[in-house]
Amino acid sequence: MRIVAGLEETSGGSVFIDGVDVTHTEPGDRDVAMVFQSYALYPHMNVFQNIAFPMRMVGIPKDEIDGSVREAARKVHIDHLLDRKPGQLSGGQQQRVALARAIVRKPCLFLLDEPLSNLDAKAAARKPAAN
């Protein structure tokens, strides 16, 4: 996962994403969203700000950010928590914030490190069955 994300170099071979060789491409230029098992949320920001952060970093207009953040939050069932800080959330809610932050970017590839491990039983029951 770290090699695909560009966080570590390969010792051989190549990395292709969507048919493009990204072996020597910088991590920020790979259009990959990573969700860490540790959430990596900013404790001083509320849920809305945490989800909006990647969009703000690339200069997306504020009105576009608002709609995208609300849509991503709705998809993971946390739209009612947008004003709360991460410390006020359960582990499962924090994990859903991290997922929404990845979803809002609309990357070509998601890399997920045990993304469902901390979701509560009700949320885990909604996850799709493995094929």
Given a contact cutoff of 8 angstroms between Cβ atoms, the answer to whether 108 and 30 are in contact is no
pTM over 0.95: no
Task: State yes or no: pLDDT of 129 exceeds 50.
Answer: no
Distances from the Cα of 63 to the Cα of 37, 40, 97, angstroms:
30, 25, 20
- 3-state SS, residue 115: coil
Task: State yes or no: pLDDT of 125 exceeds 80.
Answer: no
Task: State yes or no: pLDDT of 124 exceeds 90.
Answer: no
Query: Of the candidates 58, 59, 71, which has an alpha carbon nearest to the alpha carbon of residue 31?
Result: 58
| Average pLDDT score over the chain | 87
pLDDT score recorded for residue 99: 92
Lookup result for tokens 């359960």: 90
Task: State yes or no: pLDDT of 17 exceeds 90.
Answer: yes
pLDDT score recorded for residue 39: 78
| Residue range 55-114, pLDDT digits in tens | 998 899 998 999 999 999 999 999 999 999 999 999 889 999 999 999 998 999 999 887
First-to-final CA distance of the chain: 22
